[in-house]
Structures are given as structure tokens and as C-alpha cells.
Chains A and B, each alone.
Chain A
Amino acid sequence: AQSVTQPDIHITVSEGASLELRCNYSYGATPYLFWYVQSPGQGLQLLLKYFSGDTLVQGIKGFEAEFKRSQSSFNLRKPSVHWSDAAEYFCAVGATTSYDKVIFGPGTSLSVIP
């Protein structure tokens, strides 16, 4: 079965600073990988996804993520954070054999200070 960890429970960055959120997964083959964002009181919005191909994936809102098979990682990055990026970020992994059973990581809460 697949699993995913997000080592950072909470991160605080200054507005305009760069951001990297870490995600590590466990799965025997190449998984499907996702990053979602959840603002308070709302549902989850997909930022980006990796299925195969180019390991650097571009998403919405200026986010990108890089799949590194050797490190079992799928870290999310943004070069310049905006105050509106403050939210909960979830990394998720899906298995190629049970695509409909996506497992979410515990989440990283991002705070942005002016």
C-alpha cells in the first residue's frame, strides 16, 4: 500500500520569499502524485499532478513540483510567496493499481507574514 509523509507540520515565510514544502512517498512502483491546497472553510483545490514524463511539473498560482524517484520525493516550490498563499497544503499519492484510492499526507500549514 502507498503512504505519504510531509515532514513539516507548520511553516512560516515572509511575503516575497521563496517556498519549498516537502513530501515523501512510499510505493513499490511509480505512483501518481498530487499537491492540493485548502483555504479555511473550503474544499481542496488541485495545484498540480505528476503521472509520468517530465519530472518538473508546473501548476496553477505559480507553483511547481519536482519528482525525484531516487529520493521518493515530490517537493512543492514557489519562487515568491503572496499573502493569499496562506493555507493548508496536502501532498497525495495514488497507486496505479487502485487509482481511486488516493492517500493524503498529514498536511503542512503555511503562514505568510508581511
Chain B
Amino acid sequence: DTEVTQTPKHLVMGMTNKKSLKCEQHMGHRAMYWYKQKAKKPPELMFVYSYEKLSINESVPSRFSPECPNSSLLNLHLHALQPEDSALYLCASSQVGANHQPQHFGDGTRLSIL
């Protein structure tokens, strides 16, 4: 069983919809991550939060808006997405610090944009 929980598991939305992806962990990790993974490709880093502050934004379009309301929760707000945004969105968490890797991954949300 994964220790990082992502909801929903599947999401279908139109290009004008607004939806949110949720991620939760109770391992006491203070770094949390969002990745995007297309089929047959490796995960691509989108955002990193460290101590609930955004520390890395990999030039992600503004239609993706991350939020870290507390140390256990990470959200990804979606608005006006494009068909090419259809992918598996993975959340991960880890301790902060070079000696406290690796990252623990959730099972992802499979997003389809109509």
C-alpha cells in the first residue's frame, strides 16, 4: 500500500472546467512534489514545495496552480486545460535535505481532457 494518497484516481474534464487534484501524506515529510507523466515517458517535475513554500516551478503554464495548505496536503488546481495536458499526475513526498531522499510516490491521478 502506498503511503502517499492521491484523489481522484481518474478525472475527465472539459477545457473550460475547473477541478483540483489532491495529495495527502502522513509520513511527516516536509517536501512535496507534483510530476506529470505521459504514456511511455518518465515523470517530469512540475512543482516542489519545501516547508509549505513553493521552491521550484519548472516553468509550468499558469493553468496549473499548486497549493500546499499544510505539511500533509498538496493540491493542484486545474483551469482551462488543453488536450495535451492529458497525462498521469503523480504526487511525491520526501524529507527535506540531501541525505533524506528518496521520494515516495502516490499512484497518481489519470487526467483526460476532452
Contacts and interface: CB of A to CB of B under 8 A. Distances in A.
A102 B41 contact: no
Contact of A104 (B31, B40, B43, B99): B43
A68 interface: no
Nearest to B90: A43
A65 B53 CA distance: 35
B101 A44 contact: no
Q: How extensive is the interface on chain B, given as a class?
A: 20 to 34
B83 interface: no
Interface of B: 2, 4, 6, 31, 33, 40-43, 45, 48, 50, 55-56, 90, 92, 94, 96-99, 101-108, 110
Given A49-B101, A105-B42, 18 more contacts: A43-B90, A43-B108, A44-B43, A44-B105, A45-B105, A46-B103, A46-B104, A49-B102, A90-B42, A94-B98, A99-B97, A99-B98, A100-B31, A100-B94, A100-B96, A102-B101, A104-B42, A107-B41
